[in-house]
Amino acid sequence: MKTQELQFFKDLLLTQRAEILNKADSFKTESVVESTGQGDEGDLAVSELSLSLTLRLQERQTQLLQKIDRALGKIEEGSFGLCEQCEEPLNINRLKARPVASLCISCKEEQESRERVFA
């Protein structure tokens, strides 16, 4: 992959990383749920559901952050843009759509097919 393309993806990944960290900081500083126990059962259920969804989103963002860090590491070591299974170059459009992609389309489809079988 060309140096210019690598720099584009590095900048893109760093921007995504900063956005996730900013959201995490704002989540920590905001009062998500007041645990005063006020309101009827419906209000409490909505509050619990909202908290559950927010925590699940935070968990997904944490996983994405780990993938971003791994992709940045691959850029530094020179293996970014290669499929982890077949070691073929990933399509540039795939990387633009999902810069943390680690498998080519064929290998990803094969992985998902195996996951459906074992699910």
33, pLDDT greater than 50: no
pLDDT at 88 over 80: yes
- Residue ranges of the domains in the chain? 1-80, 82-119
The predicted pLDDT at position 101 comes to 96
Task: Find the largest Cα–Cα distance for the chain.
Answer: 60
Question: What pLDDT score was predicted for residue 44?
Answer: 85
Angle at 24 between CA 68 and CA 71, to 5 degrees: 5
| 62: Cβ contacts below 8 Å, ≥ 6 apart | 24
**Both tokens assigned to 15:** 């921007």
pLDDT over 90 at 41, yes or no: no
| 29-to-9, 22, 35, 79 alpha-carbon distances in Å | 30, 11, 16, 37
CATH class of 1-80: mainly alpha
CB atoms inside a 10 Å sphere around CB 27? 14
pLDDT at 62 exceeding the cut of 60: yes
Selection from 75, 78, 105 nearest residue 90 by Cα: 105
